[in-house]
Structure 1
Amino acid sequence: MSSNEKIILALDVPSKDEMLALLAKINAPGCYVKVGMELYYQEGADIVRALKASGYRVFLDLKLHDIPNTVRRAMRGLARVGADMVNVHAAGGSVMMRAAAEGLAEGAVGKRPICLAVTQLTSTSQEMLESEILIQQPIVDVIQSYASLAARAGMDGVVCSAWEAAAIKRATSSQFLAVTPGIRLAKDAAGDQKRVATPGRARTLGSDYIVVGRSITAASDPAAAYRQVVEEWGNTEWKTDN
């Protein structure tokens, strides 16, 4: 498997035209891409269909969180759109997560899309967890608990920071996926992310997929930045970075 097959490019732009311009700059045909709320809510399901028709694999990052029946029916529809990977919030509970997996299976044409549960956003700090969300446990314990719940509910993996990947696999199994956003090249600012890692470090920590946005999309040369991410992810020499 080539290095870039586990790198998901975040298409965090508001329109199809800007998406196409960005993909042209990066020049990585057929790579894995993430379509989030910003793009999906502007362009709708057709944006996923267009990407699939052009040979891209798509992580549809909508983070569903609602009553189980609503999530089940929504997932049934999203499966028909053709996304390869979708997600829900683990905080919705085990019944909701199980309903999500069932809805995907009902709507899938062929193989069911990968279904992930978001544990805690990488913008969440321990201070925020305690003072705003009112959860007093250490964030790694919360994430590990959510991951265990997700595994029992039939999820294929979780969205987490790279720093929790190993603990999650210990709590579940080595086959349980850790898909990790909050990836930055060493020279880049963390921005609004709190628990960040470089591509090489994320691989060392146990990430199965990494989601990379601004380090590539905001770079002066996005194609060169994408190649650097691929190199760091695939090159064992980067395993000692911070």
Structure 2
Amino acid sequence: MKRKERKLILALDTGDRQRVNDLVKLLYPRVDYFKVGLELFTSFGPEIVSQLKHQGCKVFVDLKLHDIPNTVGRAAVSLAKMGVDMLNIHLSGGIGMSRAAVEEVRHYAAEQGVAAPLIIGVTVLTSTGMTDYSSMGYTDTLERRVVRLAQMGKEAGLDGVVASPREAQSIRAACGPDFVLVTPGIRPLWAAKNDQQRITTPKEALDLGADYLVVGRPITAAQDPLSAAEKILAEMEGE
């Protein structure tokens, strides 16, 4: 698979339709990739995806699908029918569920003669620190679990995973150069940490091997979102 270009994805983590419209109007096309998360999707459904696609945006629908294989496969196809560019599943659902999503979406895309969206697996949320992780009963290290889930995702045929930049190098070593790494938990030095635990700056994330950087509040909560986005893009571009 051809290595994906490095991109900034803006997280539209809001249920405010006007706020979404304002951000897209302000930032597009300097930022052309937008993440539709659980709050936004449950507020407006497929309509918000259609709106963003009509405006020319690329869309990552972040629903972390997790259910029995048949249900996840069908749900993933429903998202593919919306024309999304990226969707994700939660790897804790297992390899059978992961394979179902891959097989169903790629079968649909081949049948329709369209490009399949990237299918990405969520490993461990970047809001999860060691205290929460240990309380779940896991005995291996957090990084080892992330890498093991990433390897399972690759075996299932996924295009890549969502993971903290702090695990990016280990995933890259285990899964190879073409495996796509989508990294939330990006916090420039000038931004607040918020509820994220395993974070890095944009430059650090890219240096560690990330392909896509997902950034929300450092841009959306800034007094000047366009200026904040420009600063992050400049850092990504090595300026």
TM-score of the alignment, normalized to the shorter chain, above 0.5:
yes
Equivalent residue of 1:99, what SS? helix
Q: Per-residue CA shift, 1:93-151, capped at 9, x if unaligned? A: 000000011121233340110000000000011221111x2111110000000000000
Question: Displaced runs of 4+ in structure 1, greater than 6 A?
Answer: none
Letter in 2 for 1:40: F
Of 182, 198, 210 in structure 2, the residue corresponding to residue 179 of structure 1 is 182
CA apart distance, 1:86: 0.2
Of 127, 133, 155 in structure 2, the residue corresponding to residue 129 of structure 1 is 133
CA apart distance, 1:25: 3.1
CA distance in structure 1 between the partners assigned to 2:31 and 2:206 by the alignment: 22
Equivalent residue of 2:229, what SS? helix
* Structure 1 residues 156 and 88, CA gap change in structure 2 (3 angstroms): same
Unaligned ranges ≥5, structure 1: 238-242
* Structure 1 residues 75 and 158, CA gap change in structure 2 (3 angstroms): same
Letter in 1 for 2:211: D
CA apart distance, 1:71: 0.3
CA apart distance, 1:189: 1.7
Contact map agreement 1:71 1:99 (CA 8 A) in 2 = yes
Q: Determine whether 1:36 maps to 2:30.
A: no
* Structure 1 residues 224 and 29, CA gap change in structure 2 (3 angstroms): closer
RMSD: 1.4
Q: Determine whether 1:188 maps to 2:191.
A: yes
CA distance in structure 2 between the partners assigned to 1:24 and 1:138 by the alignment: 43
Which protein has greater RCO, CA pairs closer than 8 Å, 6+ apart?
A: 2
Letter in 1 for 2:80: A
> 2:54 corresponds to which residue?
53
Letter in 1 for 2:162: V
CA apart distance, 1:15: 3.1
Task: Map residues 1-242 of structure 1 onto 2, 5 A cutoff.
Answer: 6-28=7-29, 31-108=32-109, 109=112, 110-131=114-135, 133-235=136-238
223-232 or 22-31, which deviates more: 22-31
Equivalent residue of 2:35, what SS? strand
CA distance in structure 2 between the partners assigned to 1:101 and 1:208 by the alignment: 20
Q: TM-score, normalised by structure 2?
A: 0.93
Contact map agreement 1:8 1:34 (CA 8 A) in 2 = yes
Contact map agreement 2:12 2:34 (CA 8 A) in 1 = yes
Equivalent residue of 1:63, what SS? strand
Unaligned ranges ≥5, structure 2: none
Q: Per-residue CA shift, 1:10-61, capped at 9, x if unaligned? A: 1111032220012223353561110001111111101111111111000010
29-38 or 136-145, which deviates more: 29-38
Q: Per-residue CA shift, 1:198-225, capped at 9, x if unaligned? A: 1111111110110000000000100000
